[in-house]
A and B are shown apart, each in its own frame.
Chain A
Amino acid sequence: MSAPATAVPGAGAAAPGTGISISRVGYEYRPPRGRPVLALENISLDIKDREFVALLGPSGCGKSTLLYLIGGFMPLQQGSISVNGRIVTAPGPDRGIVFQSFALFPWKTVIQNILYGLEKRGLPREECRRRAQHYIDLVHLRGFEDSYPSQLSGGMKQRVAIARTLATEPGTLLMDEPFGALDSQTRTIMQDELLSIWRRSPMTVIFVTHDVREAVLLADRVAVMTARPGRIKALVDTRFSGAADSAEVVRSREYADAVDHLWTLVREEAVAAGAGGRP
């Protein structure tokens, strides 16, 4: 909590042993039946410690796949990934992830879902409860502590998933379209919450989204991926994320230009993917 309230600048080389280093990563899905699918090809990306990177790209280009590889959920086939100097071989609590499909434990209530990771950390009971409650308040779910996921709306489930991951305060935060199921007001509120958490805590964030404006608003840098097989098409410095007031950023000229520029890049790929433009 004593961390400075300003964002780390996005320029300059990463100190060795910090941040995320992705080097020449390729990945091919080989389903037991059917043809293999080349999802990623030769992805290289260096992300500095405490940097906020957004990942943009057409549907099916391999964004989730890349997050899964950084998370260590699937064995690497090509290239290497290291996080804070350690080669990724397996999942670990240093890398928190918010899944596109939420992946809540349906047999646990909201608060039990959030407590699970905290208890695995071996924190004292009282501290677990306090932190869980704090993050439930943060995602505006007070009053739903004892609800089961099946009793929640899609947007509420998504917020539980976000709270569950944030509560363990991971050094690296992987988010797969975390605000996709939210209405635009809640979305704006959550964007601001995420930014303020990120500014306060030493956290590297990779944030997958389809929303160009969201990417520009939140990220230091935006990586645009090509249609499948996914490669890094462009890396664009945006860095509005350090600004204090997001409402002001959204009205600025630079913001509009950045959105325009990225929008063009993404649309080319969406067309290439044959999916048509996606807003």
Chain B
Amino acid sequence: MAQSIEAVTELSRPADRGERLRRFVDTFGPFITVGAILLAWELMARQQIVTPFLLPAMTTVAARIGDDLISGRLLLDVALTLYRAFAGFAIAAVVGVALGLLIARFVTVRWFFDPIVSFALPMPKIALMPIFMLWFGLFDMSKILMVAFSLSFQIVISTWSAAHSVEKELVWSARSLGASDRATLWEVVLPAALPQILTGLQVALPLALIVALVTEMIMGGGGLGDTMLQSARYVDSPGVFAGIVEIGIVGYGCIAAMGLIRKRLLAWHQESSNGGTM
């Protein structure tokens, strides 16, 4: 008996080692990659392969980010940009999801909105920025609405197709259990389509940041985009690079947060229970 247990542990050891290595790579792999890139950056700048103007040293940029952080400017910029991006995103999400569901459920709504959505979807929405500036001014309002407008159509489409592919028996079940048409829409179609709807929102989120940044670059009024463009105007290359790193980190944080929200909302879903074996 004791012998056999020993044999089992003996056998499991190499597998254990492989497993431990895998876990190590899983946790620290990204840090290693990022570290290597930062190191290469620093070396390239130090060796003067390119001029400090074209590529300031990583440490210089890091020091700049540190300064911005201490002076409070960084937090203010991040807050402004995120406020505009998220306010626009929220409007687009509410409008887009609601409209997408209604289009999928009611033929009359579809007849009305289908041509509008089909026309607006492929259009580069940013082309309307001058009009938004004329109508809504140069402050937060026009930026937020620009973000909302840029995102809405694709959220409508992704929600629509999500709702459309909900198993019809689910809807019928609800109806035969006594749910009204309206209750069925919000209590059955919405949650059933939620995984796909969230995927659509996850795709739209980076676009919210992009549009917020671009509107800031064009209209000014603070925020990461505005600051970056100012730095470029003053030929302040560390400032520009600091801005790029900052927006990169902010974007990464947003995606990570969205991933957590998804896990939370879809605790019932298979993708959560089998721990993402892909």
Contacts and interface: CB of A to CB of B under 8 A. Distances in A.
B and A form one assembly: yes
B139 interface: no
B273 A103 contact: no
A151 B168 CA distance: 22
Contact of A107 (B175, B178, B268): B268
Interface string A53-86: 0000000000000001001010000000000000
Contact of B167 (A68, A103, A116, A151): A103
18 contacts: A71-B176, A73-B176, A92-B176, A93-B176, A96-B177, A99-B173, A101-B169, A105-B170, A105-B191, A106-B192, A107-B191, A107-B269, A109-B268, A120-B179, A148-B268, A150-B268, A150-B269, A168-B178
Contacts of B173: 97, 99, 103-105, 164
Interface in B145-198: 167-170, 172-179, 183, 188, 191-192, 194
B168 to A, nearest CB: 8
B222 to A, nearest CB: 41
A116 B188 CA distance: 11
A111 to B, nearest CB: 13
Contacts of A134: none
Contacts of B177: 93, 96, 116-117, 120, 164-165, 168
B273 A120 contact: no
Contacts of B176: 71, 73, 91-93, 95-97
Contacts of A121: 178
Q: How large is the interface on A (under 10, 10 to 19, 20 to 34, 35 or more residues)?
A: 20 to 34
Given A99-B169, A120-B177, A168-B177, 15 more contacts: A73-B168, A91-B175, A92-B176, A93-B178, A96-B176, A101-B167, A103-B167, A105-B173, A105-B191, A107-B191, A117-B178, A148-B273, A150-B269, A151-B273, A168-B178
Given A107-B192, A164-B177, A91 B172 contact: yes
Contacts of B192: 105-107
B270 interface: yes
Nearest to A71: B176
A103 B191 contact: no
B256 to A, nearest CB: 24
Interface of B: 167-170, 172-179, 183, 188, 191-192, 194, 268-270, 273
B115 to A, nearest CB: 19
Contacts of B167: 101, 103
A106 B269 contact: yes
Contacts of A108: 268
Contact of B172 (A103, A116, A150, A164): A103
A66 to B, nearest CB: 14
For the complex, would chain B's binding face be called helix, strand, loop or mixed by DSSP majority? helix
A208 to B, nearest CB: 14
A107 B172 contact: no
Nearest to A101: B169
Interface in A104-152: 104-109, 116-117, 120-121, 148, 150-151
Contacts of B178: 92-93, 117, 120-121, 168
Nearest to B183: A120
A151 B174 CA distance: 21
A86 to B, nearest CB: 15
Contacts of A96: 176-177
Nearest to A98: B173
A253 B41 CA distance: 89
B187 to A, nearest CB: 8
Contacts of A95: 176
Contacts of A107: 191-192, 194, 268-269
A59 B169 CA distance: 19
A71 B172 contact: yes
Closest 3 CB pairs of A and B: A117-B177, A120-B178, A93-B178
Interface string A1-21: 000000000000000000000
Given A92-B176, A120-B178, A168-B178, A103 B268 contact: no
Contacts of A71: 172, 176
Contact of B273 (A73, A91, A101, A150): A150
